[in-house]
Structure 1
Amino acid sequence: MNVQNTVELKNATKALADWWRGGVIYQIYPRSFQDSNGDGIGDLKGITQRLEYIASLGVDAIWISPFFKSPMKDFGYDVSDYRDVDPMFGTMEDFKELLDHAHGHGLKVMIDLVLSHTSDQHPWFKESRSNRENSKSDWYVWADPKPDGTPPNNWLSIFGGSAWQWDSRRLQYYLHNFLTSQPDLNFHCQDVQDALLDVARFWLDLGVDGFRLDTINFYFHDVQLRDNPGLPMDQRNASIAPMVNPYNHQDHLYSKSRPENIAFLERLRALTDEYDGRACLGEVGDAQRGLEIMGEYTSGDKRMHMCYAFEFLEKRALTATYAKQVFDQLEEKAGDAWPCWAFSNHDVQRHASRWELDDAALRQHAVLMMCLRGSACLYQGEELGLPEADVPFEHLQDPYGIEFWPEFKGRDGCRTPMVWAAQDEQSGFTSGTPWLPVSQTQADQAVDRLEQEASSMLHHYRRAIALRHAHSALMSGQQNDMKQSGPILTFMREDSAEQVFCAFNLGSESAEATLPDGEWQVIGEELGSVVGAGTVTLGAAQFCLMQRVQG
């Protein structure tokens, strides 16, 4: 093989390994995607049935929320067996079939690993709580009470109340950052780290292409159990927890985001790198330091491949000013970080409703996501432009919403079943009674209806994703010269092959954008890109994408 062929082969191999860099990931919440057996709960066979549809979107990968064995107190984020499928979702053979079919459609498969905590029904916890001398006695975070019997410190649970639960067997408290039925693992114990890495290896050996890592910054706690300081009112925000939740009253310096986490992430990355083309996506849950932590966790090539924080998942609208602020902070704190942007997911109100976006603005935001530096994650139904569903209190399933109702309605409104067929009784999701009610408002935007409309939101998303893949600068190029002028956000995406100028009017009034000097040609006209020459006037929700003409 000559030198040129060797170089080309190496470049092609690297491109395959780096599929995640700029890739588009489609998140599936399995309970609500497709039910194949009529029990009202989505399952793995249902996902397999819909893989052709997912592949038609043009995405690179799917991320499947947890399907492991679980008591389902937090709908799979409370794992009782990391190495098996919960019967409500099917069998391990069903997962292997899904994996094979996804790969056959050219789709990578990422699974949701919940490593920070387990279910209280996990055998590890059952043994750990049995006494203070067993082999797993230090696998969870146990602490003695204060002399007056109260918890060891002031740490709070995201789901409300103290983060400590009394256990009468050991006469100690155990830590739970989420539900009391989700005890936190003790990552300061080497055996815990090794056991969790063995779990990751099990799924990598099975053929999964990577992991979405739940609450990645919650793995370690402060061994001294120091109290978290209070947080001034002007620094509180609802990006991680609703404002009615006292969790916002603390700066969580000691209960999460500890520096010891870096070494474990490097161990996890080293394991992942033993396999070709795998990737890790971390969820960073921190309302004050999310971008900084994202940078720490994705810096260099020995930690996570990519992370997402909550800057674009919160209530605050995505204005030009805010977008510029976010990217300025990212550049300042972590210039080489690789973000993964999402506007919606299973934990937040759908962005169509959260930001009160009309059809034009939704279309513009879809294009914007495909133009921003980083990878992109779409949540099931986002490609249909679905609004948040209204779930009455009597139908709520989410313990988070039940706890803080009515000021916070929880996460059920973004988790209602996917709508496939507008005229079917349950919109094609199930032949039985769905675990959450199907939204009749969403049914009007069902897949079968939008497939028939050439100008629908569904086809718009397909075109936006295709545009990203057609331009290497948009996939993985640099992002330079971001500017904000009134409602206009402009920036340049470029690599060695091309330069793309992007301008978005994220306000409600018309404004002008100025193109850089040189000769430019419009791209994305099929998406609604406005043609510019020198300057371009953009109305509300309009955008302009121009590619520099090479001399």
Structure 2
Amino acid sequence: MSGKPFSDKSGDWWRSGVIYQIYPRSFCDANGDGIGDLPGITEKLDYVQSLGVDAIWISPFFKSPMADFGYDVSDYRDVDPIFGKLDDFDRLIEAAHARGLRVIIDQILSHTSDQHPWFEESRSSRDNPKADWYVWADPKPDGSAPNNWMSNFGGSAWRWCSRRRQYYLTNFLKEQPDLNLHNPEVQEQLLSDLKFWLDRGVDGFRLDAINHAFHDQSLADNPPRPLELDEKGLPPVNTYNYQWHIHDKSQPENLVFLQRVRQLMNQYPGTVTMGEVGDDNTHKIMAEYTTGERLNMAYSFDLLTEESSAKFLRDTLEKNREVIEQGWPCWSISNHDVPRSFTRWNKGFDTEQAMARAPLFLLMQLTLRGSVCLYQGEELGLEEAELAFEDLVDPYGINLWPDFKGRDGCRTPMPWSNSDEPNAGFSAVKPWLPVPEEHCHKAVSLQEKNPQSMLNRFRALLDWHKNQSSELATAAQEIVDTQNDLLVFFRRGEMREYLVALNLGKDAETFALPSEFSSAEDITPTLFAGERNGEQLTLPPAGARVLLRKQ
């Protein structure tokens, strides 16, 4: 059985699309084992549809030892039993498509689990059929690692294998050996695995850490990076930040491989690729990876940082505009790897102010040039969970505790109900991560009843976005240097021009309108305060105005 294909094959749906990320372990537990699963996602698709999003992105559900919770794949073509079966995925696809929702799934092409049969064979000897399927290198004469490359999770990126008397590359956990995509056989296998899911009806792939897929075969050392000291005058906690990552990722061969991926995707009209491309120069990489017949869109970690001031956003967006040209960004301010934006972007603001600001950031995403990716729970205004050390399961956080708390705080279960149901309706038994008490007070069942809730404000914004001209997605973008707490930008299309003004500060701000916008139509969503007096906008904190001028 394969999933019913999506009937709408329009190629550019993603340009104005809103994608909703589902972290399956934490979405809904249908079988009562404390871990979310595919039938749980299917059960909640009516809720997802009610949000007004265009697609769901499901984080990994493949067979895995779960050292990195699914990002260490041991079988690219099967569902891990904790999430269900292939039949469950087929039913999910069919149910999503029946509701007009496209389905994007994660693909991890740069590395596998060390328990994948490919790696088991590769490390058995230096002359087996898969001996060159992973990145192996001899030690230096003194027995040390081949070079100075560092793992994203801290420490050396190299692990010793006594059977081969060689090191293997691990850009992430030691249980995640890097595939050698310089080997044509590896490329063919990965493309075949992508085709397997396309034939089951998926509408696209989110390609995890895709710029890590190739390495510099010379194995040259990465140069040191000037260290940015913290407020205590100490260098970074993670050794990954001690060097410029010139040779261990973002290699030119990757662009050629992405063209091969695109050729495959073109055989399935309406499908899409979204790449995660964190790098020292992310704007340049986003431009390269989304220009021409490569990825459709890419997102980086530029808006997944602690900083959210108007100046920071102006600088980031302007750098992106200068570089990306015909490429295509996807704007994400939260995901499963970083603290939740409600906490991260509201430092120094009280709870009431934070509640007012959250829709402001969504309005920003919806009016920028690019696609939008939302993370489950953003629509509820969930804050980052504070967990005790004994509750942690993320090896990244356990390894660097207490200076870095890991990723568990943004991965806690969705709160569905604040009634008598245990664990906020997520599971009937103790869940894999605890449900914070403060999240229970923001449960879906409570917010459904309140027209002014965060959930219903998000729905209203997404509904507003659907009613805008498609030109809002593609119009050129121009950032205004206001030199204050206003984020102001123009979107200039052939038939329509927009002015977007957002007050990110704690005080009221004014903005002098260009004369051509003094009589423009005010299309601001009703939940934002602010006013226009002649040729001046006045915006209170968390206020906004969107003006439309037709040519």
2:338/2:410 contact within 8 Å kept: yes
User: Considering only aligned residues, what root-mean-square deviation do their CA atoms show, in Å?
Assistant: 1.7
Q: 1:110 and 1:168, CA in 2 relative to 1: closer, same or farther beyond 3 A?
A: same
- 2: distance between equivalents of 1:204 and 1:237? 46
Q: 1:469 and 1:497, CA in 2 relative to 1: closer, same or farther beyond 3 A?
A: farther
Question: 2:524 matched to which residue of 1?
Answer: 524
| Aligned residue runs from structure 1 range 95-494, under 5 A | 95-234=89-228, 243-286=236-279, 288-300=280-292, 302-317=293-308, 319-356=309-346, 358-423=354-419, 424-472=421-469, 475-485=472-482, 486-494=484-492
Q: CA deviation at 1:484?
A: 2.4
Question: 2:549 matched to which residue of 1?
Answer: 548
Q: State the secondary structure of the residue aligned to 2:205.
A: strand
Q: State the secondary structure of the residue aligned to 1:182.
A: coil
Question: 1:38 matched to which residue of 2?
Answer: 32
Q: CA deviation at 1:506?
A: 1.6
Q: State the secondary structure of the residue aligned to 2:425.
A: coil
70, 73, 79: which is aligned to 1:79?
73
Q: Deviations 1:523-547 (Å, cap 9, x if unpaired)?
A: 1342215332410111221111112
Q: 1:436 and 1:332, CA in 2 relative to 1: closer, same or farther beyond 3 A?
A: same
1:120/1:126 contact within 8 Å kept: yes
Unmatched tracts of structure 1, length 5 or more: 1-12
- 2: distance between equivalents of 1:496 and 1:51? 37
Question: 1:5 matched to which residue of 2?
Answer: none
Q: State the secondary structure of the residue aligned to 2:489.
A: strand
Unmatched tracts of structure 2, length 5 or more: 1-6
Q: CA deviation at 1:322?
A: 1.4
| Aligned residue runs from structure 1 range 531-542, under 5 A | 531-532=531-532, 533-542=534-543
- Residue type of the alignment partner of 1:19: W
- 2: distance between equivalents of 1:89 and 1:15? 29
- 1: distance between equivalents of 2:375 and 2:478? 29
- Residue type of the alignment partner of 2:126: R
Question: 2:4 matched to which residue of 1?
Answer: none
1:211/1:279 contact within 8 Å kept: yes
Aligned residues between the structures: 531
Q: Deviations 1:381-437 (Å, cap 9, x if unpaired)?
A: 000010001111001000000000001100000000000001222101001110000
2:104/2:204 contact within 8 Å kept: yes
- Residue type of the alignment partner of 1:170: R
Q: Deviations 1:293-313 (Å, cap 9, x if unpaired)?
A: 00000012x010000011100
- 2: distance between equivalents of 1:333 and 1:487? 25
Question: 2:513 matched to which residue of 1?
Answer: 515
Q: 1:529 and 1:470, CA in 2 relative to 1: closer, same or farther beyond 3 A?
A: farther
- Residue type of the alignment partner of 2:25: R
Q: 1:96 and 1:473, CA in 2 relative to 1: closer, same or farther beyond 3 A?
A: closer
Question: 1:52 matched to which residue of 2?
Answer: 46
Question: 1:26 matched to which residue of 2?
Answer: 20
- 1: distance between equivalents of 2:425 and 2:471? 35
Q: State the secondary structure of the residue aligned to 2:179.
A: coil
- 2: distance between equivalents of 1:447 and 1:204? 33
Q: 1:407 and 1:347, CA in 2 relative to 1: closer, same or farther beyond 3 A?
A: same
Q: Deviations 1:369-390 (Å, cap 9, x if unpaired)?
A: 1111100000000000100011
2:20/2:55 contact within 8 Å kept: yes
Q: 1:231 and 1:78, CA in 2 relative to 1: closer, same or farther beyond 3 A?
A: same
Q: CA deviation at 1:487?
A: 1.2
Deviates more, 1:248-257 or 1:419-428: 419-428
- 2: distance between equivalents of 1:523 and 1:327? 23
1:237/1:248 contact within 8 Å kept: no
Deviates more, 1:104-113 or 1:454-463: 454-463
TM-score (norm 1): 0.94
Identity across matched positions, percent: 52
Q: CA deviation at 1:475?
A: 4.5
- 1: distance between equivalents of 2:164 and 2:257? 28
TM-score (norm 2): 0.94
Deviates more, 1:459-468 or 1:59-68: 459-468
Question: 2:3 matched to which residue of 1?
Answer: none
